[in-house]
């Protein structure tokens, strides 16, 4: 057996972890969540969730990966042979996510190209559903593959493939060290010019105007915790795989803090970017911001193009935004791919090159289903179940297993060994009580929501 690869530098590891954490969720999910859940007041539950759940969970996953030096199945089976399946569950979930996440990245690539001459036309909504997606209302009636989406999907798979094929240090780390600074740069340039547009500052007022009643609402707290888990890519093996390549002397606790702070800081910055655009758009159209605010696919591929059409220098703003979306998405995609690749390497002892080739080839074939006219509908259905049950369930079982049925004291000693800041009983209590309670609550309420 070959010696396990390691990251080239501490910065390289943090850039890769941040690359996974910062994704579409920061850009199209977080801003609207703030707006909808009490504005500035939402930051209270959000930061509580970050400190009480995000940080401890990140430290846990970094510690697990580094201590047991393996992908999730190997980590869980090292703790107890009977628990290997939990790792495979997470690997399977990651695999499924790659097959459609890549297609959203592909749309971002397509829209980056369209942005040069606003190829999304004067009515971006009709364009998106019609010409672009070729939407049909039934996934059974696939309506054929959309060729431009297919090409962009192939391109996104190719870049993912190059990253995981060339390895941790010369692939993933090198790309992350370019992508993350680039991403911040793109967004800062966008904001720098965007905030000068009329109405932009009003947008920020809409975003941050605090409504303190919101923090009395249980749903707001559940949203804050949910966003933290999803945003930090914790509870589904990603951070375990990445930290399995850390060297013995890495400062786990510090790395975890850095990753969490940079991700959450970027979320706030994205909120400013998105709401400055929405404020400008509302100003131009003479409507309140509430008329244009939204999230998800609609925000990125309909509202933003509509706003960009109204801007001075639309090609400038359009290319910046969609390049940022592409970079944010691709780096998360790469982390998902590494979950699968590292698990294959550990389990069946194939080389990284073989594992990457087989996985990316198969993944590409499956993802073709999402490039068809029924793709968006199919994507919504799969994403719903994966998010609500695949990820939550995996994370819930993981935390129960590790916090209650393993020697958590040993793990605490392990993470403290090389860390400057030590964790103690607060950390253990978060893992044993706070996180299981919140994940359990979310699982149950999603389940009830689905039944009714």
Binding residues for ligand PHE, rule: CB under 6 A, are 21, 23-26, 230-231, 233, 238, 332, 335-336
Number of C-beta neighbours around residue 342 at 10 A:
29
Q: How far is the CB of 21 from Na ion (least distance, A)?
A: 4
Q: Which does 332 bind (CB under 5 to 8 A by kind): ligand PHE, Na ion, none?
A: ligand PHE
- The Cα–Cα gap between 427 and 434 comes to 10
Q: Based on the number of CB atoms within 10 Å of its own CB, is 20 exposed (0-12), middle (13-18) or buried (19 or more)? A: buried
Which residues make Cβ contacts (< 8 Å) with residue 254, sequence separation at least 6? 419, 420, 421
The terminus-to-terminus CA distance of the chain in angstroms comes to 52
Nearer to ligand PHE, 59 or 334 (CB): 334
Nearer to ligand PHE, 238 or 327 (CB): 238
Indicate which single residue of 15, 16, 17, 26 sits in contact with Na ion (rule: CB under 5 A).
Answer: 26
Is residue 328 a contact residue for Na ion (CB under 5 A)?
no
Which residues make Cβ contacts (< 8 Å) with residue 192, sequence separation at least 6? none
Strands (E), 207-351: none
Q: What are phi and psi of 41, to 5 degrees?
A: -65, -25
Q: What b/e string do you get for 122-161 counting C-beta neighbours within 10 Å, with b at 16 or more?
A: eebeebbeeebbbbbeebeebbebbebbbebbebbbebbb
Show the site string, 186-225: x = touches Na ion by CB under 5 A, - = not.
----------------------------------------
Nearer to ligand PHE, 267 or 416 (CB): 267
Q: Which does 230 bind (CB under 5 to 8 A by kind): ligand PHE, Na ion, none?
A: ligand PHE
Q: How far is the CB of 379 from Na ion (least distance, A)?
A: 19
Nearer to ligand PHE, 93 or 246 (CB): 93
Q: What b/e string do you get for 68-86 counting C-beta neighbours within 10 Å, with b at 16 or more?
A: bbbbbbbbbbbbeeebbeb
Nearer to ligand PHE, 241 or 372 (CB): 241
Q: What are phi and psi of 173, to 5 degrees?
A: -65, -45
Q: How far is the CB of 232 from ligand PHE (least distance, A)?
A: 6
Q: How far is the CB of 230 from ligand PHE (least distance, A)?
A: 6
Of 206-214, 227-235, 310-318, 366-374, the window that binds Na ion (rule: CB under 5 A) is: 227-235
Indicate which single residue of 98, 160, 231, 253 sits in contact with Na ion (rule: CB under 5 A).
Answer: 231
- The Cα–Cα gap between 87 and 78 comes to 11
Nearer to ligand PHE, 238 or 376 (CB): 238
Nearer to ligand PHE, 303 or 335 (CB): 335
CA dihedral of 31, 34, 39, 42, whole degrees rounded to 10: -150
Q: Which does 374 bind (CB under 5 to 8 A by kind): ligand PHE, Na ion, none?
A: none
Is residue 21 a contact residue for Na ion (CB under 5 A)?
yes
Number of C-beta neighbours around residue 417 at 10 A:
14
The closest of 130, 188, 162, 182 to 333, measured between CA atoms, is 162
Q: Which does 110 bind (CB under 5 to 8 A by kind): ligand PHE, Na ion, none?
A: none
Contact between 231 and 26 under an 8 Å Cβ cutoff? The reply is yes
Is residue 371 a contact residue for Na ion (CB under 5 A)?
no
Q: How far is the CB of 82 from ligand PHE (least distance, A)?
A: 26
Is residue 331 a contact residue for Na ion (CB under 5 A)?
no
Q: Which does 430 bind (CB under 5 to 8 A by kind): Na ion, ligand PHE, none?
A: none
Q: How far is the CB of 41 from Na ion (least distance, A)?
A: 21
Q: How far is the CB of 153 from Na ion (least distance, A)?
A: 22
Task: Give the DSSP letter of residue 443.
Answer: H
When CB distances to Na ion are compared, the closest residue is 231
Nearer to ligand PHE, 279 or 394 (CB): 394
The closest of 91, 102, 134, 93 to 367, measured between CA atoms, is 102
- The Cα–Cα gap between 349 and 363 comes to 20
Nearer to ligand PHE, 18 or 376 (CB): 18
Q: How far is the CB of 23 from ligand PHE (least distance, A)?
A: 2
Nearer to Na ion, 41 or 50 (CB): 50
Binding site for Na ion (CB under 5 A): 21, 25-26, 231, 263
């Amino acid at each position: 057996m070959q010696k396990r690869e390691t990251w080239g530098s501490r910065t390289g590891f943090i850039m890769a972890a941040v690359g996974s954490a910062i994704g579409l969720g920061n850009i199209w999910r977080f801003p609207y969540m703030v707006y909808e859940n009490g504005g500035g007041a939402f930051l209270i539950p959000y930061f509580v969730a970050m400190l009480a759940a995000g940080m401890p969970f990140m430290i846990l996953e970094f510690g697990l990966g580094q201590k047991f030096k393996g992908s999730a199945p190997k980590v869980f089976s090292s703790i107890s042979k009977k628990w290997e399946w939990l790792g495979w569950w997470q690997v399977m979930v990651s695999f499924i996510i790659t097959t459609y996440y890549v297609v959203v990245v592909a749309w971002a690539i397509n829209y980056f190209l369209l942005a040069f001459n606003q190829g999304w036309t004067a009515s971006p909504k009709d364009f998106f559903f019609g010409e672009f997606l070729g939407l049909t209302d039934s996934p059974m009636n696939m309506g054929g593959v959309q060729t431009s989406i297919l090409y962009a999907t192939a391109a996104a798979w190719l870049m993912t493939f190059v990253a995981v094929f060339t390895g941790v240090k010369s692939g993933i780390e090198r790309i992350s060290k370019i992508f993350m600074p680039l991403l911040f740069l793109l967004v800062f340039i966008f904001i720098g010019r965007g905030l000068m547009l009329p109405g932009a500052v009003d947008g920020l007022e809409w975003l941050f105007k605090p409504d303190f009643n919101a923090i009395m609402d249980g749903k707001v707290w559940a949203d804050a915790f949910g966003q933290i888990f999803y945003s930090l890519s914790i509870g589904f093996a990603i951070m375990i795989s990445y930290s399995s390549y850390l060297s013995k002397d890495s400062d786990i606790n510090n790395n975890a803090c850095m990753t969490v702070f940079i991700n959450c800081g970027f979320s706030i910055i994205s909120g400013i970017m998105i709401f400055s655009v929405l404020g400008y758009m509302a100003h131009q159209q003479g409507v309140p911001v509430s008329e244009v605010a939204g999230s998800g696919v609609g925000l990125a591929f309909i509202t933003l193009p509509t706003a960009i059409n109204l801007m001075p220098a639309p090609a400038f703003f359009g290319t910046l935004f969609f390049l940022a979306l592409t970079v944010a998405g691709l780096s998360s995609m790469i982390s998902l791919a590494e979950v699968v690749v590292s698990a294959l390497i550990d389990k069946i002892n194939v080389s990284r090159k073989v594992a990457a080739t087989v996985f990316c080839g198969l993944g590409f074939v499956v993802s073709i289903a999402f490039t068809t006219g029924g793709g968006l509908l199919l994507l919504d259905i799969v994403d719903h179940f994966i998010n609500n049950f695949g990820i939550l369930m995996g994370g819930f079982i993981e935390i129960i297993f590790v916090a209650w049925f393993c020697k958590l004291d040993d793990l605490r000693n392990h993470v403290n060994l090389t860390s400057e800041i030590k964790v103690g009983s607060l950390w253990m209590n978060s893992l044993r009580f706070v996180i299981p309670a919140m994940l359990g609550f979310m699982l149950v309420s999603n389940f009830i929501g689905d039944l009714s």
